[in-house]
Amino acid sequence: MHAPKPLTATRVAATCAALDSASWPAGAIVLRTAPDEAIVLVPTKDIEPGLIADPHAIVEIESSLCGIWLDADDAHDLLERECDWETPSARPAFAQGAVAGLPVKLWFEHDRVLFVVSAVFANDFMERCR
């Protein structure tokens, strides 16, 4: 497994309604980490003014995350070993929880899974998942 790489991302905090109705840039992966917060895997400059219908929205660069893509089979094997909770069966899907004892965000696609960890945990994640 390769080491997680820094992700280009934007953190958006806004009302639930504003996040629900946002038209995200094409190809963006949106990780809805809370009802009023999302991590969008696109550069902040790609989130145009007016995209978020909340005048008090906070849109900031998120530079503390690393990610690694694994093919679906490798991800399944890793999660079988290191995850105590049931992962979603539908795809695409977002989930978050402990994997190998560390907080991880997961983006599930049909043929691959993105593991997102805080940069401070990237080395620990690699060591625990060997």
Query: What is the reported pTM?
Result: 0.94
Whose tokens are 């999660």? That residue is 79
Domains in the chain and their CATH numbers? 5-64 (3.30.70), 66-128 (3.40.1840)
pLDDT tens digit string along 62-92?
Answer: 999 999 999 999 999 999 999 999 999 999 9
Kindly report the number of other CB atoms within 10 A of residue 7's CB atom. 19
Coil, helix or strand at residue 39: strand
Residue 95: alpha-carbon gap to chain centroid: 8
The token pair that represents 87 in the structure block = 């992962």
pLDDT tens digit string along 22-54?
Answer: 999 999 999 999 999 999 999 989 998 789 999
